[in-house]
Homo-oligomer: A and B are copies of this chain.
């Protein structure tokens, strides 16, 4: 017996390959530098080059390189490092948190394939970050506050995936979507970045404090709801600035004097 080819599909470099430059893999507090290397290799297999690590200390270079292999070593050399997740995410307009299927009050999440349908129209004009948490605990609720969507790889009973394998499956789905489905998509406009939106939230929060809307007890709960509400709106840059201006006006001494 031997091999039959179903079709002559060739995976030559597609025209929209450059779209993969708008994707970043963000590893939040990874425990083992080997997993960063292994994740970088998987990303490079799929034409994704941007690796960001958020941690307290810069991970051991040698241990990362070992599993990145010679072929993906340049991704480790170019790796971005941040101590703070908010800083790391500033350039991104859409942020996807990857989670295990199970979790308290977290709901089932979307499958990576569902997520690609959302991401593809945004990809030409927006930078998109995929967040992966630590090997043992995953992303914290604090990390997930930045996320617009959650992606959960469908699994059978045992839902805890190896970190680098979870990265590999996501990168594989991204690459597959970009080379096979991108051409059928009408692109969406550039959305506000995390930096712009987080700035706006600071104004919104201080304004709501000033008018005593946010009482101490329910502060976090209301702010989370407000974040959700604005997150769903796919705000553009100029819209965050408009909201910011209204808040500034509300807080101006002039306005407060009139009270």
Chain A residues near B (Cβ < 8 Å)? 1-11, 13, 17, 20, 38, 41-42, 44-48, 67, 69, 71-72, 95, 97, 101, 107-111, 113-114, 118, 144-150, 152-162, 164-165, 168-169, 172, 175-176, 179, 197, 224, 227-228, 230-232
Which B residues lie within 8 Å of A168 (CB)? 161-162, 165, 168-169
Count of chain copies: 2
* Additional A-B contacts beyond A2-B231, A7-B114, A11-B155 (10; CB < 8 A): A3-B107, A5-B107, A5-B150, A6-B118, A42-B165, A45-B159, A156-B175, A164-B165, A168-B168, A169-B172
Q: Which of B1, B72, B145, B157 contacts A2 (CB 8 A)?
A: B145
In contact, B162 and A41 (Cβ under 8 angstroms): yes
Known pairs A11-B108, A162-B168; A2 contacts B224 (CB<8 A): yes
In contact, B162 and A3 (Cβ under 8 angstroms): no
In contact, B156 and A2 (Cβ under 8 angstroms): no
Which B residues lie within 8 Å of A41 (CB)? 162
Known pairs A45-B158, A155-B45, A161-B42; A147 contacts B3 (CB<8 A): yes
CA of A252 to CA of B1, assembled, Å: 26
Known pairs A46-B155, A168-B168; A150 contacts B3 (CB<8 A): yes
Q: Which of B42, B97, B109 contacts A5 (CB 8 A)?
A: B109
Measured CB to CB, the closest approach of chain B to A10, in angstroms, equals 5
Top-5 shortest CB links A-B: A47-B156, A1-B231, A165-B168, A2-B228, A11-B154
Which B residues lie within 8 Å of A224 (CB)? 2
In contact, B169 and A154 (Cβ under 8 angstroms): no
Which B residues lie within 8 Å of A5 (CB)? 107-110, 150
Which B residues lie within 8 Å of A118 (CB)? 6
Which B residues lie within 8 Å of A11 (CB)? 101, 108, 152, 154-155
CA of A164 to CA of B7, assembled, Å: 27
Known pairs A3-B144, A169-B169, A230-B1; A156 contacts B110 (CB<8 A): no
